[in-house]
Chains A and B, each alone.
Chain A
Amino acid sequence: MSSELEAPLLARWLSGVGITAHLLLASMFIGTITFAVVAEYRYLRTGDADWNALARTFAVIATIFLGVGAAFGTLVEFGLVVLWSNFVTLIGSGLVLPFYFELYAFLMEVVLVPIYVLTWGRFRNAWYHWLVGVVAALGALYSAFNILAVMASMSMRPPGLEIVQLPQSIGQVIHYAAVFTSPAGVLNMFWWGAEEFIFHGILAALILSWSGIAGITIYSHRRSPKPYKLKALRTILPALTGLIAIQGFVMGHLQGELVLQFDPLKLAAIEGMSWSGLRVDPVTSLLAYGDTTHAFWGYFSWPASIRPPQFLPAFYLGFMVAGGVLLGAWSLGLTLYYYGLHRIRGLGWIGRIERLLVGGAPYALVLLAALASIGGAVTAEVGRQPFILVKAVPSTTGPPDITGIPVGPGLYNPTLTLAPWLAALVFAVELIMPALAIYMVYLYVNRRAIE
């Protein structure tokens, strides 16, 4: 399905794997530093030493993910400069503000997280120490906020941003620019549609990381039960269930409405609307409009050269939606179980499926969260192919025109020769680094357990 608008498949795979690995590291950092701050808050409120130990452990784990994630971020950043060199011009011409604000967030994380860990127990008033942790965690969230703002602009062109196809290239390299029509327009990188996308992404990061934490804690608790592990689970699981509910019922719905408005081709691709022309789709209509009468343009209404891949329904409906629903149900069941509600009459069935519910939880939580996250990321990023800064322009004669900067001629480095051995090497690094972070966490947790 490759067209001249596309970049080479190998380059897209390299970026796809790299960004997914970076998302995993970044999500784990966000989740662990947030949990550390929550745990320290509970310690300060209750004086319970278990919470202090949990907070300290998770603060160190967060530092490991931050260190490896920051190094990996450098790899991704240079991947951008080397593979997608012409994206740099787009940053400078229009998309710069989130990158600029990201620097504040980055400094907050990088300076305050080590301070948070190294000054544990050294503050006379422990609330000041907690405050350092809160600001560090806010740095992590603000970092995600800014990067997701850029990702949002890829799928939905911010209001006031115009794509300029240069009448002549600059040095046979730069063919496109994206400029805001007014100086203050750069703030539109954070318009309400982007904010919905951002909060959807931040929730996904928290759900992924807290599912991982919950899964590992359940595994550990089943092998050697300890009160502090139970306390951690009783905090994480209800929060996780709540986040999944908000993600599914509120943010997911709002995201769907945005896709409908800004990229009907993506909607057709992810929903598997494999027809040409307008046709009524009762289910999508009900979800989008609250009735069953609306018609939608089918996937084959647009030319093949701009259609995203046909495998998207597997990632959207299979991984993201089904995975998310199962994850929510599992998390709810676990919440009820760990709060002992299965002893209440009428909920006894939860106890009867304990072996599946709790025994399978370490694998199910991690796997389902990973599938849902990967499904969501692929839906968002592959669904907009072959363009970035996508915008649908209404047409009187057919489906809306889908416009944007094509990733092939618009972004890809024209001088790059990507040899397979070089790509294999980069793939290896992209996979080894998250593995290294997980191994370091394993070593640390083991050492703590021995101590």
Chain B
Amino acid sequence: MNAVWIATVLLAWVFGVHIPLVYTVLGIIWTLPAMEYASRRDGRYNDAVKGIARYLIAIYAVGGVFGTVITVFLAGMLPVFTNLAGVLLWPVWATAIAFGVAVALPLMGYWYRTLGSMSPGRHVALGFLTAGFTTVIPMMFRLVFAVVNYPAGVDVVKDPSSLVGFDLVVHNYWSLFSNPTYPPLILATLLGAVAFANALIAFVYGYRGVRPEAASISRRIALSFGAASALSGVWYLVELYYYAPTMAWAILGIRPPTIPAALAPVYEPTYSLTAAFAAIIALGLMSAALLILSGRIRNRALNALGMLASIALVIDVEEVNLLAHLPYAIIPPVSAAEGLASEYGVSFALTVAKVLSASTMASTLNALAVFVSADPAVLYFSIAFFTLFTIMVLVGIYVVLSWRSSGSG
């Protein structure tokens, strides 16, 4: 049991819980004002909007808590990485948290409180405004993901006074947005979140046999946004192929030609994720098929299966995106590696690559990994505890989402 393995297990678990939760928040926050707008004359989705809004309020804090769990794991397991990420990208974190806590949370509360007491047009506008501000949070966090895929805008500066021989510097924060992996990633995230949230709404209502109109519109939204998200995913994969070849290699199982043969050992991924990638395609197709079928056949098992398939799909996508980086915490671009090798020598380029690897980041100054390695029972207890509470969160989500307000049908 080594530090990288422990970090991988813990981070994989928490991503697997956090991402579906925040996906539902992001998807719902856009869906609710759209539903309100669609029912402004006849009020046909009003009851569904109220029920889903209750879920949104309940789950926003829970999703945020799991975000905190991620931060603790990152600080505990990859302290040097988290420290450098904090120093390098502080405006990104600051913007995310300012919008997440200072703007989105009060707006969400105000939107919920004024539901039914404000004119429909104004309330819809407030809903879309809230959605826009809430979206800044994933826009910032996905920027960090894009940076670890391909550190565009981050310069390596040789520094003999540094313990690792170099410094990472961001000269212009706007240049971070020039990352080619960022646009498809954020697009796939937003479209996928809307698709996922609506798929869950459709499946839960289908399972309970309630609110057929809302289930029907959610089904259509899930299918169309799901298809668009899949296309964005393909675009993302193409960008990874050119700019983050370790990830593409892990996902597709073949070395992209962008990696010169001489550098193949440097960029070889830790895991082959082709089976997981195949599972993504299968789960995506299965979710779509179950969505279509659930609109035609009223069957509880089918809806339950659809719910599980769509949750599994989101988890699988995120785990693949997370694990494909390994062995790196930040994947050094091929062009940068070649540039460093020609400017400072191959040895320096290899040193940079080694420092950016997850094993260096995870095994350096890591008291938790040392403690858990000495006493694995801590990890086993944690896994059991975390699993129990994950199940409780899932059950809670189902209960809140399927809760009927009085008089609803």
Contacts and interface: CB of A to CB of B under 8 A. Distances in A.
Query: Are A and B part of the same complex?
Result: yes
Interface of A: 66-67, 70-75, 77-78, 81-82, 85-86, 88-97, 99-100, 102-104, 106-108, 110-111, 114-115, 118, 166-174, 177, 179-180, 183-184, 186, 413-416, 425, 429, 432-433, 436, 440
A89 B67 contact: no
Among A91, A102, A108, A415, which residue has the most Cβ atoms of chain B within 10 A? A91
Interface stretch (B156-164, B196-204, B259-267, B271-279): B156-164
A101 to B, nearest CB: 10
A177 B366 CA distance: 10
Interface stretch (B39-47, B86-94, B177-185, B291-299): B86-94
A108 B97 CA distance: 24
B254 interface: no
B252 interface: no
B105 A71 contact: yes
Contacts of A115: 392, 396
Contacts of A167: 163
Given A75-B101, A82-B86, A166-B163, A99 B68 contact: no
A429 B101 contact: yes
Given A106-B69, A170-B164, A171-B159, A99 B371 contact: no
B100 A92 contact: no
Contact of B97 (A78, A85, A89, A436): A78
Given A67-B61, A86-B83, A169-B162, A73 B76 contact: no
A166 B72 CA distance: 24
Given A102-B72, A170-B163, A172-B167, 19 more contacts: A66-B61, A70-B61, A71-B64, A74-B101, A89-B79, A91-B79, A92-B77, A96-B76, A97-B368, A100-B368, A110-B61, A110-B65, A171-B84, A171-B167, A173-B87, A179-B365, A413-B87, A413-B90, A416-B90
B371 A183 contact: yes
Nearest to B67: A74
B374 interface: yes
A168 B68 contact: no
B82 interface: yes
Given A94-B367, A415-B90, A416-B90, A88 B162 contact: no
Given A74-B67, A170-B163, A85 B83 contact: yes
Among B64, B87, B106, B396, which residue has the most Cβ atoms of chain A within 10 A? B87
A347 B67 CA distance: 56
Contacts of B382: 104
Contacts of A66: 61
Contacts of B102: 75, 425, 429
Contacts of A168: 161-163
A111 B370 contact: no
A411 to B, nearest CB: 10
Interface residues of B, number: 60
Given A70-B61, A82-B94, A88 B83 contact: yes
A111 B83 contact: no
B136 to A, nearest CB: 14
A167 B373 CA distance: 28
A159 B221 CA distance: 59
Nearest to B91: A82
A77 B66 CA distance: 13
Contacts of A108: 389
Nearest to A106: B65
Contacts of A179: 365, 367
A173 B84 contact: yes
Contacts of A416: 90
Pairs of residues from A and B, 7 with the lowest C-beta to C-beta distance, nearest first: A92-B79, A93-B365, A85-B86, A78-B97, A81-B86, A183-B374, A168-B163
A179 B90 CA distance: 26
A34 to B, nearest CB: 20
Contacts of A91: 75-76, 79
Interface in B35-84: 58, 61-62, 64-65, 67-69, 71-72, 75-80, 82-84
B103 to A, nearest CB: 9
Given A92-B82, A413-B86, A97 B371 contact: yes
Contacts of A85: 83, 86-87, 90
A91 B368 CA distance: 9
Contact of A88 (B68, B86, B101, B373): B86
Contacts of B370: 183, 186
B367 A93 contact: yes
A94 to B, nearest CB: 5
A96 to B, nearest CB: 4
B72 A70 contact: no
B80 A89 contact: yes
A420 to B, nearest CB: 15
A74 B101 CA distance: 8
B145 to A, nearest CB: 16
B367 A92 contact: yes
Contacts of B62: 110-111
B393 interface: yes
A102 B399 CA distance: 27
Nearest to B373: A183
A186 B378 CA distance: 13
A88 B85 CA distance: 10
A310 B47 CA distance: 61
20 contacts: A70-B64, A71-B61, A82-B94, A91-B79, A95-B367, A97-B371, A100-B368, A103-B72, A107-B69, A110-B62, A111-B392, A111-B396, A171-B84, A174-B84, A183-B374, A186-B367, A186-B371, A416-B90, A433-B101, A436-B109
A107 B386 contact: yes
B281 interface: no
B164 A171 contact: yes
A110 B393 CA distance: 9
A74 B100 CA distance: 9
B368 A92 contact: yes
A436 B106 contact: yes
B83 A89 contact: yes
A86 B393 CA distance: 33
Interface in B99-117: 100-102, 105-106, 109
A171 B68 CA distance: 26
B174 interface: no
A96 B86 contact: no
B168 interface: yes
A92 B162 contact: no
A169 B161 contact: yes
A173 B83 CA distance: 9
A440 B110 CA distance: 11
A169 B88 CA distance: 15
Contacts of A71: 61, 64, 101, 105
Contacts of B385: 104, 107
A94 B106 CA distance: 36
